[in-house]
Structures are given as C-alpha cells and as structure tokens.
Structure 1
C-alpha cells in the first residue's frame, strides 16, 4: 500500500515543479517584452581606473602642450 501513495506523492511533486518552472518562464518572457529597456540604459562606461560605471565620464577640456602651441604659430 505504501508504494501507491509514494507514486502519487512523486507525481504531485513533479507536476508542482513543472508548474513552477512554466510560471517562471512566463514571468521572464513578460519581463523581456515589457521592460526591455532603452539603449541608454544598457550602455556601460569604463572609468579611468578600469571600473564599469553607468554614467558617462565627465568631459574635461584638453590642455594643449607648449609644443602644440609652437606648431600652430
């Protein structure tokens, strides 16, 4: 008698596991469809230390060297 109950228990566990997996897959699909994000949200930048950051680096004006000034004259 114990064998029958065990088989039913295993079947219920498998069915529950399958249902959970299907639900997770459906949620992932909805998330991809709705919240794909814009290109700007997906871009990552690298700072001067090699770390990945979300915001773009601050643009600093380039300082010209004395040699460059002489060439321009």
Structure 2
C-alpha cells in the first residue's frame, strides 16, 4: 500500500537534487563571469627552459651560462 507514495517521495528527492545541482552550476558560471582577468599578453606568455620546465619569467641567457668568461677556459680552447 505504501509503495505508491514511496515512489513519489523518491521522485521529489531526485527533482530536488537536480534543482540544487543546476543552481550550483549557475552560481559557478556567474562567479567565473564576474572574475576579473587582465587579458594582458604578458600574463599569458609562458617560457620553457632547456629541461622542458614551464616558467612564468624568461630564462637567463643560455650562452652566458654555458660559456663562462674565465681565463682558464680561453687557454683550453
């Protein structure tokens, strides 16, 4: 006898869960829309070093690192 009302209760629960998820999604969408972004090109650029790591700032001059200016190096060449 109570089975008929039980199905209606489950349907209401599912509808409530679905409504909450939709509301949360809408709130996330609005938050993302209102979030400030600079849109500046410098903020979007990423650099890659010789090891393949992604950096936010440009890597140092690679030639200066590989060939230091010391007198002993010049004698060996």
Aligned counterparts, 1:1-73, within 5 A: 1-35=1-35, 37-39=37-39, 40=43, 42-53=44-55, 55-60=56-61, 62-63=63-64
Q: Distance in 1 between matches of 2:22 and 2:28?
A: 10
Aligned-pair Cα RMSD in Å:
2.7
* Corresponding residue pairs, total: 62
TM-score normalized by structure 1?
A: 0.55
After TM superposition, where is structure 1 displaced by more than 3 Å over at least 4 residues in a row? Answer: 42-45
- Aligned CA distance change for structure 1 residues 51 and 20 (closer, same or farther; 3 Å): farther
TM-score normalized by structure 2?
A: 0.53
- Aligned CA distance change for structure 1 residues 13 and 56 (closer, same or farther; 3 Å): same
